[in-house]
Structure 1
């Protein structure tokens, strides 16, 4: 039995967009030693496929990291199944803040070396020895403390559209870059409180443990990340210190937390915080584009890509043959096609 979905991605996306059943977008993670990730992966695939779960899951010897979409009518069945796995029993499930049910179009479970690429190579490092987990109310109190340094543990294109007030927003492409930056930042400020946050908590889980491993003492992390924070401030009616949109790694590319639009369209410079991928299959650059520019450039990042889309499919394939697109994320100064870059 094939444990992969081999159907063409475009076909699956059209099926997802036409689907009428309600879905719930859920994310969760757990650092736990998995003896045989490949065997666990196959068992998990069979269990989730039977419930029509879609999404992207990474499995490694260090644990599991999942972002999925579950049919609403099967959420309790899914929860029971997940909790039947001993190390996932009663695990916190982060429910999407703004959800149209169109977050994923297929189920993909990959075995990786790590569930979060960190570039670390230290056998004495224990990712389970984390900093202090804080809820939304505790986060706000720490944020008001002048002895606190707030650091956004996400990449530049995530914080560009939304972040906590007064947070340090590192201009980095990867988590491994961020770890070194934060370590350097805190070296001369060891008496300060380091308060970290990310999307759902998984990066801070490892980052806080790493900082403790490096000898830092006052380490705090937002439990459940921005997703859980947004839920708590709404439910408890407390002050929301996050502004803008929360970038997410699925088809939605973002969920709105506040009405503030703090970013600009990368093509015309007008206020906009909608991330898109260039429509040209040979590019797929991730960038911010307003509706007017999407119409003007046919959902492309440049006139060059727009022109390529007018060519026959075979000609387009020939142009992109042998080209390694790599991680096509927007970076200040990386793409000459981007005219308006954040300061």
Structure 2
């Protein structure tokens, strides 16, 4: 039985166009104890492939994390399947703020050691002992409290284009880096401050809330459903939107516009801009912020060297890449030294001292 994706992204995109159906992009996660992740993974793949689900799904002993799209008219079938699985019954589904039929072009269901890589090897840590969940209204009220420390649990390239007002935005490339940094920088406030966290859809700050409780923080909260659910509640309840800019997402949309504020700058010229792109040179593929003018002048490349390489015939480019592997800059997300206007982030403790003066 076929348990893997067989179509290329181009072939899938063509099928989507020909189908002419509206697709729904959504995400969900659930921390739970899964006895056999491989069997569960195969079950999801077989069932969801039949429903024309596309996306990126991780399954582990600690639960499931799913980002996906499916035909809108098959949503009820999909929801019924989730409800037939005990620990996923009535799981919160985060419907994307901005929809796009081609947000995902393949179905990938993978077994991982963890659904959120945390670098932890502590058998006494209970990921289900989470902090207090906050809806948008309660969140808005709590972050105005002088005794609250609001922390963005996402990576630097995510918070660069959008974050909550006065949030601490750690200068990290990965979630696992942020845990020790935050604990160390806020250790003097474990009992005196209210630690409030947020992320894209809730999965990272839910694990973080459990971790910081495990480390002795007394008042730990998280924004339930993350920025995606916050945006939905703000609209439904006519609340003040305290998020500035765009919400970075890990699919072909790259971001969802939450407010009209543009808080980032083009990494090449410094003009206000907040749209990420990947360098057109396949040997680089660096993710960075590039305005329309620079995109035109640089042919969608991050440097003159990449521009020159990208102008070569395909076979010459391929020959240059042979045996070289991918540049580490791919994983640096805008940290390449030749980008003159990349954002410099201050140490979280320095921000804390500034905000609380």
Same fold (TM over 0.5): yes
User: Any conservation in 1 of the 2:246–2:258 contact (CA below 8 Å)?
Assistant: yes
Q: Compute the displacement of 1:33 (Å).
A: 1.0
Structure 1 match to 2:276: 275
CA RMSD for the aligned pairs?
1.5
Q: How many residues align?
A: 342
Structure 2 CA distance for aligned equivalents of residues 72 and 295 of structure 1: 36
The alignment partner of 1:221 has SS state of strand
Structure 2 CA distance for aligned equivalents of residues 18 and 325 of structure 1: 36
Structure 2 match to 1:83: 83
Q: Compute the displacement of 1:13 (Å).
A: 4.4
Structure 2 CA distance for aligned equivalents of residues 149 and 8 of structure 1: 45
Structure 2 match to 1:125: 125
The alignment partner of 1:328 has SS state of helix
Structure 1 pair 52/282, CA: closer, same or farther in 2 (3 Å)?
same
Greater displacement, 15-24 / 235-244: 15-24
Structure 2 match to 1:145: 145
User: Any conservation in 2 of the 1:262–1:273 contact (CA below 8 Å)?
Assistant: yes
Structure 1 CA distance for aligned equivalents of residues 23 and 48 of structure 2: 14
Q: Compute the displacement of 1:327 (Å).
A: 6.8
Structure 2 CA distance for aligned equivalents of residues 287 and 329 of structure 1: 11
User: Any conservation in 2 of the 1:17–1:102 contact (CA below 8 Å)?
Assistant: no
Structure 1 CA distance for aligned equivalents of residues 114 and 316 of structure 2: 38
The alignment partner of 2:309 has SS state of helix
Summarize deviations over 1:101-128 as a string: whole Å, max 9, x none.
2211111111111100100110111100
User: Any conservation in 2 of the 1:99–1:255 contact (CA below 8 Å)?
Assistant: no
Q: How does 1:1-343 map to 2 (within 5 A)?
A: 1-13=1-13, 15-16=15-16, 20-190=20-190, 191-322=192-323, 323-326=325-328, 328-330=330-332, 334-343=335-344
Structure 1 pair 141/57, CA: closer, same or farther in 2 (3 Å)?
same
The alignment partner of 2:76 has SS state of helix
Q: Compute the displacement of 1:73 (Å).
A: 0.8
Structure 2 CA distance for aligned equivalents of residues 327 and 10 of structure 1: 26
Structure 2 CA distance for aligned equivalents of residues 15 and 263 of structure 1: 36
Which stretches in structure 1 are left out of the alignment for 5+ residues?
A: none
Summarize deviations over 1:258-302 as a string: whole Å, max 9, x none.
011110111111111111111221111111111222222222212
Q: Compute the displacement of 1:18 (Å).
A: 6.4
Greater displacement, 134-143 / 316-325: 316-325
Structure 1 match to 2:348: none
User: Any conservation in 1 of the 2:60–2:114 contact (CA below 8 Å)?
Assistant: yes
Structure 1 pair 30/256, CA: closer, same or farther in 2 (3 Å)?
same
Summarize deviations over 1:144-177 as a string: whole Å, max 9, x none.
1000000000000000000000100111001011
Structure 1 CA distance for aligned equivalents of residues 295 and 38 of structure 2: 42
The alignment partner of 1:296 has SS state of helix
The alignment partner of 2:64 has SS state of strand
The alignment partner of 1:245 has SS state of strand
Which stretches in structure 2 are left out of the alignment for 5+ residues?
A: 345-357
Task: Give TM-score, length-normalised by structure 2.
Answer: 0.92
Structure 1 match to 2:350: none
Greater displacement, 291-300 / 177-186: 291-300
Task: Give TM-score, length-normalised by structure 1.
Answer: 0.96
Structure 2 CA distance for aligned equivalents of residues 157 and 13 of structure 1: 28
